[in-house]
């Protein structure tokens, strides 16, 4: 049974959700329906993923069929760089809401720390006050940008979604988030297998100890660190494995051994690197995943 965590505004958010990044639109409906059958209730998409409509179709089918009630779902989407600014974000929100075939969103996020995200934040605050969004937040904000937004916004972000995995643990940044009352949410919890993640001896040894997979150990480590996770898989058996992390607990020695794996460097995204900034601004036309 997936546990919830309370955001700063009291909204309950599942600690484990399901991401749909890089799932082709033609496969997304099936995958989301499989995930709902498996037990997932939190789903994370974005305008830039080009599959919001397919996610919406799956949600409508599941609700209409009685598989799940709308109030049991926690749906997240995001506004991209080209949708930043007050007017643009208002329009982007309703475009995403229509594609998702919903009356409200559970979480709406600024996807990248670029463009006029202050104008966007004002729009999101208005939508939040109007009850169209239950929680608002950001993605990929470093501590300085997050602090600056928190110190100037009327309503502070409730979530900061960041790249987070054993090779890039961001412990100091997570401490800043906790101090600000911002819930950390980790994307790419497996770093998409880059840099030998699934072959790490430390993780394999811990997995053997508990009779679990390396992926399950990573997800459990995140949960015990207080980080919300959104793993992705298009295979139902792996969805079942990913959700099977609520029946064991890593001990402190395990947690410490994983902490020692931190390299302090991202595998997927570096918003301080000029080539990465260029890539992100060009992403909608040319969806290259990383220059790292």
Catalytic residues: 49
- Rounded Cα distance between 41 and 13, Å, is 10
| Residue 64: CB atoms within 10 Å | 8
Bridge partners of residue 109, in order along the sequence = 78, 137
Distances (CA, A) of 131 to 127, 171, 287: 6, 33, 33
CB 27 within 8 A of CB 234: yes
Scan for tokens 């900061």, then name that residue.
160
Angle of helix 201-210 relative to helix 252-259, nearest 10 degrees, comes to: 160
Residue 107, judged by CB atoms within 10 A of its CB (0-12, 13-18, 19+), counts as: buried
């Amino acid at each position: 049974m997936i546990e919830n965590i309370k955001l700063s505004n009291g909204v309950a958010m599942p600690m484990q959700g399901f991401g749909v990044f890089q799932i082709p639109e033609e496969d997304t409906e099936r995958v989301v329906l499989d995930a709902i059958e498996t037990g997932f209730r939190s789903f994370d998409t974005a305008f830039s993923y080009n599959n919001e409509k397919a996610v919406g179709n799956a949600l409508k089918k599941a609700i209409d069929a009685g598989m799940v009630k709308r109030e049991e779902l926690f749906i997240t989407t995001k506004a991209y760089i080209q949708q930043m600014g007050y007017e643009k974000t208002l329009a982007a929100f309703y475009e995403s809401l229509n594609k998702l075939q919903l009356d409200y969103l559970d979480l709406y996020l600024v996807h990248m720390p670029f463009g006029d995200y202050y104008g966007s934040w004002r729009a999101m605050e208005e939508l939040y006050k109007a009850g169209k969004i239950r929680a608002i937040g950001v993605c990929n904000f470093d501590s300085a940008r997050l602090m600056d937004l928190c110190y100037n916004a009327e309503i502070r972000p409730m979530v900061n979604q960041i790249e987070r995995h054993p090779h890039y643990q961001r412990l100091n940044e997570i401490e800043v988030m906790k101090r600000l009352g911002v819930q950390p949410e980790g994307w790419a919890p497996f770093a998409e297998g880059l840099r030998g993640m699934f072959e790490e001896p430390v993780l394999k040894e811990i997995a053997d100890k508990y009779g679990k997979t390396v992926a399950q150990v990573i997800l459990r480590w995140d949960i015990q660190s207080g980080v919300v996770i959104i793993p992705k898989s298009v295979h139902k058996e792996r969805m079942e494995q990913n959700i099977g992390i609520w029946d064991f607990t890593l001990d402190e020695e395990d947690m410490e051994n994983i902490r020692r794996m931190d390299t302090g460097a991202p595998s997927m995204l570096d918003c301080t690197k000029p080539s990465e900034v260029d890539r992100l601004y060009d992403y909608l036309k040319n969806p290259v995943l990383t220059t790292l």
